[in-house]
Chain A
């Protein structure tokens, strides 16, 4: 089986290129559409959308890792190498080969020999591997799945063969471009689907984004304005206690303990009254005793503080 697939891969080089031709046509169409739409932000989208596609297509794979969206296109390309590295472990266990093509044929033969559907079998296998491996490797599933999707209409045997060819090809020098093409097709499809319904689900629009809706408010401004307002208000109302430098609250700022007009917070006033009891502004003692007398003569119904302030206003 393994040797069969290898020979298939080498013998049917012409069909491979033909397949790629048809595929590339499709890719070009979608890529054009996308380029019109996305322009310079293409790469950014690619990374986001590939992951989203991954999520949606898997729909229920709980092993999806949320921090995947850090990936960019370079990351996707790098996966080819990841691919090689982590694919070596199963192949080594089965046949101990180090050649790349043998690695991949070994892998695909394994997946086909597992009698389940091609796509699902592949995914589950790789999922297990992914759990052990880096986050970046998750993108590989995209590639495999995308290929599987693209070939879904084909017959089973042909599919398997092409699958093998492609995997071999991907790991050769052509691999980089083919991988990116696959990525393009995936992302453009998903863009078409997602474009309307979730434009800003993954990341907020940047202010300099071309496609940024005009109606969106500028977050930066929104954040900065309240701060400025706060500052202005605190400047406009002289609001800190000259003794402890803490902000005066409403009660404090309406508290006028001495006719000299020296204001301070209630806490500092209390501390001073517990001490020498003199106003810091004029050094005259706060008229504590007379106030006490007044409150007692009034029957003590009022709180001391109220009595103080009212008596101050009555007297002066």
Chain B
């Protein structure tokens, strides 16, 4: 009986406990977003100081959680001379969760679908919090010249990849240069 009473005594106490557990949640979230802010700001600094050729990224107007990036096609690939714009969207879990990255410029590539979605392992299951915007963009840049034909999003591109001359023509045909 005493045990039952004790049990009953505990049950009313449960709601306050859950309330207590709810209250700390928002602060930890704000701390998280603050750490995300710090991380993104540091990355931006590194990007601007580093000056990597062929990649760039910068936050959209007033939202540091959404960036615009550009990648230029590497030399001696079918993408040489082209430039692609991407959007990077970071969550509050970043860098523990990968950012969402899409091509905004149409890109004829085996691992990029018509909507600009990218199939890249490091942006999904192979993500590591040690990656950053710079390494992501460099990875995508190298993905352009070295597609993964075995799991294509764009089957036509995957089939055409073997014929580099034709592929180059297709790239030039579909490429829309960046304007604004």
- On A, residues with C-beta under 8 Å from B are 242-246, 262, 268, 271-272, 275, 278, 280-281, 283
Contacts and interface: CB of A to CB of B under 8 A. Distances in A.
Contacts of B173: none
A272 B95 CA distance: 10
Given A243-B95, A275-B96, A268 B129 contact: yes
B130 A243 contact: yes
B38 A245 contact: yes
B35 interface: yes
Q: Interface SS of chain A: helix, strand, loop or mixed?
A: loop
- Top-9 shortest CB links A-B: A280-B130, A245-B42, A280-B128, A280-B129, A243-B129, A244-B35, A245-B39, A271-B96, A275-B96
Interface string B38-51: 11001000000000
B126 interface: yes
Nearest to B41: A245
Contacts of B39: 243-245
Contacts of B42: 245
Given A243-B95, A244-B39, A283 B129 contact: no
Interface in B120-170: 126, 128-130
Contact of A272 (B35, B38, B126, B129): B129
Interface string B67-108: 000000000000000000000000000011000000000000
A44 B61 CA distance: 51
A197 to B, nearest CB: 52
Contacts of A246: 35, 38
Interface range for B: 10 to 19
- Among the interface residues B95, B128, B129, which one has the most CB atoms of the partner chain A within 10 A? B129
26 contacts: A242-B130, A243-B39, A243-B95, A243-B96, A243-B129, A243-B130, A244-B39, A245-B38, A245-B42, A246-B35, A246-B38, A262-B130, A268-B96, A268-B129, A271-B96, A272-B96, A272-B129, A275-B96, A278-B128, A280-B128, A280-B129, A280-B130, A281-B128, A281-B130, A283-B126, A283-B128
Nearest to A271: B96
Contacts of B129: 243, 268, 272, 280
A244 B38 contact: yes
B30 to A, nearest CB: 15
A242 B128 CA distance: 11
Nearest to B132: A242
A21 B42 CA distance: 74
B127 to A, nearest CB: 9
Contacts of A280: 128-130
A268 to B, nearest CB: 7
Contacts of B128: 278, 280-281, 283
A244 B38 CA distance: 7
A242 B42 CA distance: 11
B29 to A, nearest CB: 13
A278 B96 CA distance: 10
A280 B126 CA distance: 10
Contacts of B96: 243, 268, 271-272, 275
A272 B128 CA distance: 10
Contacts of B130: 242-243, 262, 280-281
Given A275-B96, A280-B128, 16 more contacts: A242-B130, A243-B39, A243-B96, A243-B129, A244-B38, A244-B39, A245-B38, A245-B42, A246-B38, A268-B129, A271-B96, A272-B96, A272-B129, A281-B128, A283-B126, A283-B128
Contacts of B38: 244-246
A118 B126 CA distance: 94
Nearest to A268: B129
B101 to A, nearest CB: 18
Contacts of A244: 35, 38-39
A280 B129 CA distance: 5
A246 B96 CA distance: 15
A244 B128 CA distance: 13
A126 B129 CA distance: 74
